[in-house]
Amino acid sequence: MYKHGKVDTMYRAVKVRIYPTDEQESYLAQCFGNTRWLWNYMLNATTTAYKETGKGLSKVAMDKLLPGLKKEYEWLGLAYSQVLQRVTFNLSGAFVNFFEGRAKYPNFKSKHGKQSIQYPQNVKLMPQDSVIKFPGSLGLMKTVFHKELPDAKFTTVTISRKGDGRYYASILFNQEDTPIVAIRDAIGVDLGLKNFAITSVGSKYDLPKKQLALLEKNKKRKQRKLAKKTDKTSNKRRKAKRLVARISSKIARVREDFLHKLSRKIAYENQVICVEDLAVKNMVKNPNLAKAISDQGWGMFLTMLKYKAERFGHTYFEIGRFFPSSQLCSETLLLIPMLQNGYDSLSVRFVDCPHCQKQHDRDINAAINIRNEGLRLWALGTSASALGGDVRPKSSGRKKSMKTEAIPHELGSPHHTR
Ligand SMILES: [Zn+2]
């Protein structure tokens, strides 16, 4: 018999409201009926076997009955096959629990009251688009995600219809395989042209450049095709136009997905997050920088960082006045002569510091400066006793698990600084 996984603390269920279309609603009604019928059929079969032999039917034995049943009752196959297999999994589990004295004998399911089906895999959560993608005929389902989803793998998704006719999806996250992340006191984040973001702990993050370049190339090709279709009323032109729109939104989604994941990671792992105000950053006379602010999604990124930090009860702090973060030695706070020209010499990545004799990675050095200056200003504003780098903001002691590989493009942590 199958071992039935016990649901305990390493799982976390997140329940969201879903809004099926009329068509999806009738499909779900069919599936509820099919799984209920299958449960009752198998329960009956296994009860008979139990009476005759003293043993129930194993999941394997039940699954062997499925193909024959699908032939006999064609409508049974309308439900996604894994949803049906989930029924035999759950029923065999219920029998194991019964035989081992943990539960009562399984009951027949009634068509009254709450109905549910389970998708064990192949479900895709797309919170940015407010949809869940289910496999098979169900497809995209409008969903309201109220809160941040745990950054963990999820297993089963259960769709249920309550007595009042509302639909919900319950997503079971497995938090067992996620490493514990210690919450850092504070971090400085510098947004850059070479790398998207650089942190004071030495991590550099980049947009998925290769993927985006391929998509952009594809988009150009589709735009060229569209340009050739000059008849404004033709169906072919309309279709070409739709293809361009579709790839544009794909590109936007890929970028946004990166921004969401990175901002969530940084907001989650740090109690105080220090950044530079973009309007102030923009005052640096550098056309590349102004362009980057609008192109790269820096503004969107900071907005996300702010609300996510707040959601985790962490502090987001913007340095709202000019501060030469990229020109100071982060150890001594003295101006590094070579860097006084600021952004003009972007090709210089490392600098031998005349003050502390160390070699600074320019970007990480800037991020450390942002962190220290942010902490200093933030501390002045909130607690006079906490000054400098030793600020210890309210210690919440929360240490929740979090997957670090959520960000696909961490570029390593050079050890040139500190
Ligand atoms: Zn230095």
* Residue 308, amino acid: K
Average pLDDT on 208-236 reads 91
Q: What is the pLDDT of residues 82-100, one digit of tens each?
A: 999 999 988 988 888 787 7
The confidence score (pLDDT) of residue 9 equals 43
* Cα-to-centroid distance, 126 and ligand 1 (Å): 45
Q: What is the pLDDT of residues 125-136, one digit of tens each?
A: 999 889 999 999
**Cα separation of 315 and 268, whole Å?**
10
| pLDDT classification of 139: cutoffs 50, 70, 90 | very high
* Cα-to-centroid distance, 160 and ligand 1 (Å): 60
Structure tokens at 49: 């076997």
* Residue 208, amino acid: P
Quickly list DSSP for 91-157.
HHHHHHHHHTTSSPPPPPP-SSS-EEEEE-S--EEEGGGTEEEETTTTEEEEEE--SPPPSSEEEEE
Q: What is the pLDDT of residues 149-177, one digit of tens each?
A: 877 788 889 999 988 889 999 998 876 65
- What are the residue numbers of the active site? 190, 276, 363
* Cα-to-centroid distance, 355 and ligand 1 (Å): 5
CA 240 to chain centre: 32
The confidence score (pLDDT) of residue 401 equals 28
* Cα-to-centroid distance, 202 and ligand 1 (Å): 15
Q: What is the pLDDT of residues 31-81, one digit of tens each?
A: 999 999 999 999 999 999 888 888 778 889 999 999 999 999 999 999 999
* Cα-to-centroid distance, 269 and ligand 1 (Å): 27
The confidence score (pLDDT) of residue 207 equals 92
* Cα-to-centroid distance, 166 and ligand 1 (Å): 61
Quickly list DSSP for 362-415.
HHHHHHHHHHHHHHHHHHHHH-TT--GGG----------B--GGGSTTB-----
Residue 392 vs residue 173, higher pLDDT: 173
pLDDT of 147 higher than 70 = yes
Structure tokens at 188: 């400085």
Sign of CA dihedral 11, 15, 16, 17: positive
**Cα separation of 298 and 309, whole Å?**
16
**Cα separation of 262 and 266, whole Å?**
6
| pLDDT classification of 341: cutoffs 50, 70, 90 | low
The confidence score (pLDDT) of residue 413 equals 36
213 CB-near residues (< 8 Å, 6+ apart): none
The confidence score (pLDDT) of residue 338 equals 66
The answer to whether 367 touches 375, Cβ cutoff 8 Å, is no
The answer to whether 186 touches 388, Cβ cutoff 8 Å, is no
Q: Residue 373 phi/psi, 5° resolution?
A: -70, -40
Q: How confident is the prediction for the chain on average, in pLDDT?
A: 81
pLDDT of 200 higher than 90 = yes
* Cα-to-centroid distance, 277 and ligand 1 (Å): 24
* Cα-to-centroid distance, 206 and ligand 1 (Å): 26
Q: What is the pLDDT of residues 281-301, one digit of tens each?
A: 776 667 777 777 777 889 999
* Cα-to-centroid distance, 392 and ligand 1 (Å): 25
The confidence score (pLDDT) of residue 275 equals 95
Helix ranges, 270-391 (H): 278-281, 287-295, 298-311, 362-382
Gyration radius from the chain CA atoms: 28
Q: What is the pLDDT of residues 96-125, one digit of tens each?
A: 878 777 778 889 999 888 899 999 989 999
Residue 406 vs residue 112, higher pLDDT: 112
| pLDDT classification of 146: cutoffs 50, 70, 90 | confident
